[in-house]
Amino acid sequence: MFKNYKPPYTITDLIVQQIASISEMVAELTIKNEELSNQFLRRDNQIKTIHSSLAIENNSLSLEQVTDIINGKRILGHPAEIIEVKNAFEVYERLLEFNPFSIKDLLKAHEILMKNLTNDSGRFRTAGVGVFAGDSLIHMAPPAKLVPELIEDLFNWLSSDIKVHPLIKSCVFHYEFEFIHPFSDGNGRMGRLWQTLILSGWKKVFRWIPVETVVRDKQSEYYEVLGICDKEGESTKFIEYMLNNLYETLSEIKSTEQVTEQVTEQVKVLLDVITNEPKSANELMSLVGLKHQLTFRENYLKPAIKLGFVAMTSPDKPRSSKQKYFKK
């Protein structure tokens, strides 16, 4: 074991600027709402995180299907993909139970994430593994016999080098973890999960920030940057890439927060009962306990549609007698 192990990277001017911008954005969000306590925003972000993380790993379920699974509904889909959603939801729900500096907790999280999906969930791999983009090998991981030692070195650095900013530390860990590829399956999901955990230890607001969504939208760039860092032998480019993703996600959250501040109590009541399954206005009125149609439409339904939380099945015929509404 290399007791003085330090992952190689360089602090560039861009990284310094990114840290300053992200820290400023985090401070604004923290002052307004330390834990993004708006339950609708929090839930929505968690579902987006799970959907995006699994989509990166080729899970074909839609956001609506993932939402239905998390809400306890039955869907038509590949059994393994449904299990992936349920496992991911459980591990993200329990995220703050894990110690980011504990290898034991890392293995426990992997056991939850991959249960009923692999035969070695919660255990390091015992065979060689490579990372492929299509048919092309983009990274050959270190031999399996080195994995326990490499992970111990990485966790020792993570817990001991207190001078490193958490933003940098989380990105370096993410890259080094993917380089080691300690598990036979689930490495991408675990790397992104553990970065979220590290950042959540710095600021709890990161627990509710769906960085996975930006990574999914830039998936080819994600693998490209990993490949560049492998060739350069350091994680600088990956740090810059991930910090840019964090900033973009925070900017989107800030914009969404400004919109959700406008949500009235009536709209919140409607959002509590409406689902992805289309329902008529009368059905929704019954669910919220109202009998006065005009009050429902003006104070509940129209504001929810205007804010983008609710959509119509026939938007081109808003006054259709067959019109129904569903949660976006």
Fold of 13-260: Fic-like fold (1.10.3290)
Among residues 245, 244, 217, the alpha carbon closest in space to that of 51 is found at 217
Task: Choose which CATH entry (1.10.10, 1.10.760, 1.20.120, 3.30.70) describes domain 265-327.
Answer: 1.10.10
Q: CA-CA distance, 221 to 168, in Å (whole number)?
A: 19
pLDDT at 3: 54
Q: What is the DSSP letter of 142?
A: P
For the chain, the maximum distance between any two Cα atoms, rounded to a whole number of angstroms, is 72
Q: How do residues 11-39 score in pLDDT, each as one tens digit? A: 999 999 999 999 998 888 776 554 444 55
Q: CA-CA distance, 112 to 182, in Å (whole number)?
A: 16
The whole-model pTM stands at 0.76
Confidence of residue 256 (pLDDT cuts 50, 70, 90): low
Strands (E) across 141-234 are located at none
Domain-wise residue ranges, the chain = 13-260, 265-327
Q: Do 13-260 and 265-327 agree at the fold level?
A: no
Q: CA-CA distance, 183 to 292, in Å (whole number)?
A: 58
Half-sphere exposure of 77 (CA within 13 A, CB side): 21
With beta carbons less than 8 A apart as the criterion, state whether 243 and 12 touch.
no
Q: How do residues 157-211 score in pLDDT, each as one tens digit? A: 999 877 899 999 999 999 999 999 999 999 999 999 999 999 999 988 888 787 7
pLDDT at 4: 67
Q: How do residues 241-251 score in pLDDT, each as one tens digit? A: 999 999 988 88
pLDDT at 158: 95
Q: CA-CA distance, 308 to 261, in Å (whole number)?
A: 13
In the beta sheet, which residues pair with residue 162? none
CA torsion sign, 153 to 156 to 161 to 167?
A: positive
